[in-house]
Amino acid sequence: MSIKEVAKRANVSTATVSHVINGTRYVANETKTRVLEVMKELKYHPNSVARSLRSKQSKIIGLMVPILPNDTSSFFFMSIAQGIESVLMEKGYSLFLSNSKDDIATEQEQVRVFNSQLIDGMIMAPTYEDHTYLDSLMTDAYPVVFIDRKPKDAQGDCVLTEGANGSYEAVAHLISKGHTRIGFITGSLGLTTSDERLEGYKNALIDNGIPVDEEMIQVADTSYSSFDSGYRLTEALISRHRITALFVANNVMTMGSLHYLQQNDIDVPNDIAIIGFDDYEWARITKPALSMVKQPAFELGETAARILLERIEQPDGEYKEVRLPTELIIRGSS
């Protein structure tokens, strides 16, 4: 809910609502009462940040990430956080970390917490849900930079990786090795990360004259953990569709997939070639070592922090979208 909506419902100007909230100018009792009643009706809570920023900055930046328990994505987002901090510390800023647990209700509550705190800006990796709520829940008190995932119908700068290109390169590499029956495993669709990686997979097949078989595209069942989904979907692809190669567009699911292959004595890469997404240290010590699509997590954090600081200093201007390149790391599994 925004101050503009309060003003519209109360049939007054936004300046009048501001004067009622801050007590900065006399407002007739009848008008004041009407404004306060509308605020109560709309459950509008004045943002302390907006008032404080008129006179000073807090030098604090909020960071919201979507980390689930036992999810190796924590390594990715912590690398991003380190990149953010490396830039903020040079400018005398501190970082305040929050976790939405990839849940939209928790995310909304954490945004409310940020709204009540003295922060100068926020960097946010949004959940997969519709983000039109941000227009009413957030105010103009501080800017937001979205990272990793691009929200639907929300305004702000974005720093993303070239996930579609990363998937394309991975699948094109498998095709160059002679594979035509290439399975694809992904997390829930609806996130820009998942959707773009699926797009890259399909485009690589099409550009190489290989028909897209929708049955060879397997999407995670949310009733299972990502690890278990990777295990089960790999089993389904091998037993039903005779794949010779596999691209897994999610790190934890890659672990589940590899576990199935190892448990069933399936030789990698001779029986099944496999490439995963996000290059962590564990991928180097598997036998054989895993080929992976690497994302520049630290650089993503650095870029997001720089863009946010620029936006704080110069709030006007069109929002920008920055894409950082991925890198295909070839090892023994492909």
Q: Per-residue pLDDT for 258 more than 80?
A: yes
Q: Which residues pair with 273 in a beta bridge?
A: 245
User: What Å distances lie between residue 81 and 77, 78, 85, 147, 242, CA to CA?
Assistant: 6, 5, 6, 11, 41
pLDDT at res. 314: 85
The single residue listed with the structure tokens 């000073």 is: 56
DSSP state of 130: B
Can you tell me the mean pLDDT for 247-265? 93
pLDDT at res. 56: 56
165: its two tokens: 């290109």
140, 163 Cβ separation under 8 angstroms: no
Residue predicted with more confidence, 30 or 3: 30
197, 183 Cβ separation under 8 angstroms: no
Can you tell me the mean pLDDT for 116-135? 81
Q: Per-residue pLDDT for 183 more than 90?
A: yes
Tens-digit pLDDT profile for residues 269-287: 999 999 999 888 888 888 8
Phi, psi values for residue 193, rounded to 5°: -60, -50
Band (7; pLDDT cuts 50, 70, 90): confident
63, 123 Cβ separation under 8 angstroms: yes
Tens-digit pLDDT profile for residues 155-172: 789 999 999 999 999 999
pLDDT at res. 46: 64
- Indicate the angle between helix axes 14-22 and 3-10, nearest 10 degrees: 110
All residues at 6 or more sequence positions from 223 whose CB lies less than 8 Å from its CB, including other chains: none
pLDDT at res. 95: 93
DSSP state of 283: G
Gyration radius of the chain's alpha carbons: 24
All residues at 6 or more sequence positions from 85 whose CB lies less than 8 Å from its CB, including other chains: 95, 301, 305
Tens-digit pLDDT profile for residues 77-110: 999 999 999 999 999 999 999 999 888 889 888 8
How do beta strands 245-248 and 273-277 pair?
Answer: parallel
Can you tell me the mean pLDDT for 200-226? 91
Q: Rounded CA gap, 293 and 270, in Å?
A: 20
Please spell the DSSP secondary structure of 168-230, one letter per residue. Answer: HHHHHHHHHTT---EEEEES-BTBHHHHHHHHHHHHHHHHTT----GGGEEE--TTS-HHHHH
Q: Which of 16-25, 159-168, 235-244, 318-327 has the lowest mean pLDDT?
A: 16-25
Please spell the DSSP secondary structure of 52-83, one letter per residue. Answer: HTTT----EEEEEE-PPTT-THHHHHHHHHHH
Q: Per-residue pLDDT for 303 more than 50?
A: yes
Q: Rounded CA gap, 233 and 217, in Å?
A: 9
Residues in the chain, total = 334
